[in-house]
Amino acid sequence: MKNRPELSLHIPEPASRPGGEPDFTALPLQDAGEQRCPDTLAPESELRDMPYGLVRVLDDEGKAVGPWAPDLPADHLLKGLEAMVLTRIFDDRLFRANRQGKTSFYMKSSGEEAIGAAHSLCLGERDMCFPTYRLLSWLMARDYPIVALCNQIFSNAKDPLEGRQMPVLYSAREYGFYSISGNLGSRLGHAVGWAMASAYRHDDSIAIGYVGEGTTAEGNVHEALTFAAVYRAPVILCVTNNQWAISSYSGIAGGDRTTFAAKALAYGLPGLRVDGNDFLAIHAATKWARERALGNKGATLIELVTYRQAAHSSSDDPTRYRPKDEAEAFPLGDPIDRLKQHLIVRGDLTEDAYEALHSDCEKRVREALREAEAIGTLGQSKPSVKAMFEQVFKEPDWRLIEQRREAGY
């Protein structure tokens, strides 16, 4: 008789499926203010508990508490709030535009707006962001022209990327925003290379790169972490853990076994786990990692715990794989509500002022949309087909010149 159990194959399953009760009991949490704040230059060996905690600043009442509470002026916070509100409104309008056939595709960042906004405002003008498709609030916080976003999404005659990219795969060098590629995880190594170049040149700028928690399974990510650790690159590597990678829950990427921040441990990097719906916590953690990087102590891995409130993309229907009301049950709330409440508690915002901000943002998006629609939505206008043959090489070779002529341009 065997005294061992038979082997059985384990396939992880989320706590609940459509029709079930949302259940986040397995998500390790900590109260606001509880996580310690180590010295930015502390040796990594003293930071190994950090990936298992959760950096939080805003408590349930909207007060900023604990050692991570940053000292930020009201206008900074209001700017962040505005970027987040603008992003949410823009997302809703453009998602609708997709349903109306005005664009082929759209991706929302709903629920994750605090991340891009806080990072954009926290990092320096010369720092470079290596984004994913859910970082629109980075551009909003830096006042990237909304109409240019619409033109890109509509692939119209004024598309800043000349019709070469899918909607939302922006590039905006002047705004510290690297070109987005469709290949998941492929740019994390570019962020490390950029940071290494900055260190090599004795510069004072850093890079920040992002992947979703699902993408942490890609080899690219482990390559980037290895290089970041080996060469002590001044880079912040972020995992935005929004719980879902299309229909696969975070456990499919290994999230049931340990935290994503804890991946840092094996590389000898500090890992911070941060409330990704808490603008202040994100800001403080990013500042911490930036100071560490500029202190020549190298890279930090930051997991931002958040929730993808909307569909993965305009081609996805999340009600088919997760409970409808899961977003409301997410224990870290909504990032816009939380920052708004904090500003009200501080006395820097009133409900009326918020309503005014909201309708001003709506107006700006409406106007930009109108302007872009006048130029054309998908298929109504497009950049010159000549542009299709440009920017392949610095100078076109004979093939491109001949083929452009053959195509009639």
Partner 1 sequence: MSAMNMVQALNSALDVKLGEDPDIMIFGEDVGYFGGVFRVTDKLQEKHGLTRCFDTPISEGGIVATAIGMGAYGLRPVVEIQFADYILPAFDQLVSEAARLRYRSNGEFWAPITVRVPYGGGIFGGQTHSQSPEALFTHVTGLKSVIPSNPYDAKGLLISAIEEDDPVIFFEPKRLYNGLFEGRPDDPVKPWKNHPLAEVPEDIYRVPLGKARMIREGEAVTVLAYGTMVHVALSAIEECGIDAELLDLRSLVPLDIDAIVESVQKTGRCVIVHEASRFAGFGGELSSLVQERCFYHLRAPIERVTGWDTPYPHAFEWDYFPGPKRIIDALQRTQEV
Ligand X SMILES: Cc1ncc(C[n+]2csc(CCOP(=O)(O)OP(=O)(O)O)c2C)c(N)n1
Give the footprint of partner 1 on this chain (CB under 8 A): 128, 130, 160-162, 164-165, 169, 171-173, 178-179, 181-183, 186-198, 200-201, 207, 219-220, 223-224, 226-227, 230, 391-394, 397-398
300 touches 237 (CB < 8 A): yes
Question: Judged by CB under 6 A, does residue 162 bind ligand X?
Answer: no
Question: Judged by CB under 6 A, does residue 213 bind ligand X?
Answer: yes
| Count, residues near ligand X per rule CB under 6 A | 15
Per-residue binding letters, 295-334, with ligand X (x by CB under 6 A): -------------x---x----------------------
Question: Judged by CB under 6 A, does residue 347 bind ligand X?
Answer: no
Residue 187: name its binding partner from partner 1, ligand X, none (Cβ under 5 to 8 Å by kind).
Answer: partner 1
In the complex with partner 1, the residue whose CB is nearer, 25 or 183, is 183
For the chain, the straight-line distance linking the first and the last C-alpha, in angstroms and rounded, comes to 79
Q: Please give the sequence-ordered ranges of beta strands (E in DSSP) within 19-141, or none if there are none.
A: 128-130
Q: Distance (Å, rounded) from C-alpha 291 to C-alpha 126?
A: 15
In the complex with ligand X, the residue whose CB is nearer, 242 or 341, is 242
Pair of tokens at residue 244: 């879902």
Residue 245: name its binding partner from ligand X, partner 1, none (Cβ under 5 to 8 Å by kind).
Answer: ligand X
Please identify, among the stretches 90-98, 190-198, 239-247, 377-385, the one whose residues bind ligand X according to the rule CB under 6 A. Answer: 239-247
- The DSSP-derived string for 332-379 is T--HHHHHHHHHHHHTS--HHHHHHHHHHHHHHHHHHHHHHHHH-STT
| Minimum distance from residue 7 beta carbon to partner 1 (Å) | 32
The radius of gyration of the chain's CA atoms, rounded to the nearest angstrom, is: 22
Closest CA to 118 of 270, 235, 285, 233: 285
Determine if residue 42 is left, alpha or beta; phi over 0 gives left, psi from -120 to 50 gives alpha, anything else beta: beta
DSSP state for residue 174 in the 8-state scheme: G
Question: Judged by CB under 6 A, does residue 157 bind ligand X?
Answer: no
Residue 234: name its binding partner from ligand X, partner 1, none (Cβ under 5 to 8 Å by kind).
Answer: none
Closest CA to 233 of 268, 191, 261: 191
- For ligand X, which residue of 35, 137, 155, 215 counts as binding (CB under 6 A)? 215
- For ligand X, which residue of 246, 344, 345, 357 counts as binding (CB under 6 A)? 246
Residue 393: name its binding partner from partner 1, ligand X, none (Cβ under 5 to 8 Å by kind).
Answer: partner 1
Question: Judged by CB under 6 A, does residue 214 bind ligand X?
Answer: yes
- Neighbouring-strand partners of residue 211: 239
CA distances to 90, 148, 249, 397 from 95, in Å: 8, 16, 23, 40
Residues in contact with ligand X by the rule CB under 6 A? 134, 182-184, 211-215, 242, 244-246, 308, 312
